């Protein structure tokens, strides 16, 4: 296996993942992982979106479930409890509180503003793309996050790689290097195969053009399964595909666990 640790794992609580917490643990053990980090979509105290992230009221139950599994599977696998969450300066204190209750936070900037269902999952305008880049950099500067999930998420439904996309990649690569924050090569969409875009067939992410720019900076990288189904942890071939897609870019892959 290319990497025997995965810190990007979701649960049913986010409203768009399936399987029990224990099924993820069992799949990880079967696949050969030594460390499994749960990082379900973190809640927002004053905003509910049950198809996007867990509720604030679910935090205690979530952490208790993982704690019980840590004890049950002690000696077989190391389990960690975290959250994947967006960053907005006006919610900084809320993120500090969230981090105080778990092992780690991952930065995953999905939404344009905190209290909305609007997201970056569409063909974005140049200003939205640049806003994404600026928001990610604010999150990196906060020092709250262990690493940045799918930095190229903006390319998910982006038909063309524009100058704005390049500028966002430059911002993120520069800031990740300045803050020494690792970047995740996310393999979640690889299992579904390549999609047709205006520029031809490609994976929604990892996006080669975006990563070509990130690779100009001295950034450290690791793979993230972004599992929304226990079976995804068994697809270790997705890591191989992602590595092959990017192996000639000279990216520095983290070989040892960072948590």
Cα separation, 48 vs 3, whole angstroms: 35
pLDDT at 117: 67
**240: pLDDT strictly greater than 70:** yes
C-beta of residue 8 within 8 angstroms of C-beta of residue 42: no
Longest CA–CA span in the chain (Å) reads 51
**Residue 180 domain flag:** yes
pLDDT per position as a tens digit, 157-196 = 999 999 999 999 999 999 999 999 999 999 999 998 999 9
Q: How confident is the model at residue 208 (pLDDT cuts 50, 70, 90)?
A: very high
Number of domains in the chain: 1
**Residue 183 domain flag:** yes
Instruction: Indicate whether this model's pTM tops 0.95.
Output: yes
Q: What per-residue string of b and e applies to 80-107 under the rule 16 or more CB within 10 Å gives b?
A: bbbbbbbbbeebeebbeebbeebbbbbb
Going by their DSSP bridges, the two strands 147-148 and 104-107 should be labelled as parallel
Cα separation, 108 vs 139, whole angstroms: 9
**Residue 258 domain flag:** no
**18: pLDDT strictly greater than 70:** yes
Domain residues for the domain of 205 are 5-253
Q: How confident is the model at residue 232 (pLDDT cuts 50, 70, 90)?
A: very high
**Residue 259 domain flag:** no
pLDDT at 174: 98
Going by their DSSP bridges, the two strands 195-197 and 200-202 should be labelled as antiparallel
C-beta of residue 105 within 8 angstroms of C-beta of residue 92: no
pLDDT per position as a tens digit, 96-131 = 999 999 999 999 999 988 877 678 888 899 999 999
pLDDT at 121: 84
pLDDT at 16: 96
Hey, CA dihedral for 131, 137, 141, 142, is it positive or negative?
A: positive
pLDDT per position as a tens digit, 21-31 = 999 999 999 99
**Residue 145 belongs to a domain with what CATH number?**
3.20.20.140
C-beta of residue 60 within 8 angstroms of C-beta of residue 31: no
Which residues, at least 6 apart from 93, have a Cβ–Cβ distance to it below 8 Å?
none
CA distances to 10, 149, 192, 224, 239 from 188, in Å: 12, 11, 8, 8, 10
Token output for 229: 């189904």
């Amino acid at each position: 296996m290319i990497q025997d640790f995965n810190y990007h794992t979701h649960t049913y609580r986010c409203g768009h993942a399936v399987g029990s917490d224990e099924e993820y643990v069992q799949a990880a053990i079967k696949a050969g992982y030594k460390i499994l980090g749960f990082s379900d979509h973190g809640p927002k105290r004053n905003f509910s979106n049950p198809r996007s992230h867990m509720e604030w009221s679910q935090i205690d139950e979530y952490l208790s479930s993982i704690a019980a599994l840590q004890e049950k599977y002690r000696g077989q696998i190391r389990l960690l409890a975290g959250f994947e969450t967006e960053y907005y300066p006006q919610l900084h204190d809320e993120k500090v509180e969230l981090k105080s209750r778990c092992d780690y936070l991952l930065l995953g900037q999905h939404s344009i503003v905190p209290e909305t269902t609007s997201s970056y999952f569409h063909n974005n305008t140049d200003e939205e793309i640049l806003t994404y880049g600026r928001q990610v950099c604010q999150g990196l500067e906060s020092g709250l996050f262990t690493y940045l999930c799918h930095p190229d998420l903006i390319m998910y439904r982006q038909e063309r790689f524009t100058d704005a996309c390049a500028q966002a990649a430059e911002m993120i690569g520069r800031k990740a290097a300045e803050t020494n924050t690792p970047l995740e090569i996310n393999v979640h969409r690889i299992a579904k195969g390549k999609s047709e875009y205006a520029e031809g067939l490609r994976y929604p992410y990892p996006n080669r053009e975006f990563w070509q720019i990130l690779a100009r900076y001295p950034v450290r990288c690791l793979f993230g399964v972004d599992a929304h189904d226990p079976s995804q942890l068994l697809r270790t071939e997705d890591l191989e595909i992602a590595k092959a897609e990017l192996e000639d870019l000279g990216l520095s892959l983290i070989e040892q666990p960072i948590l």
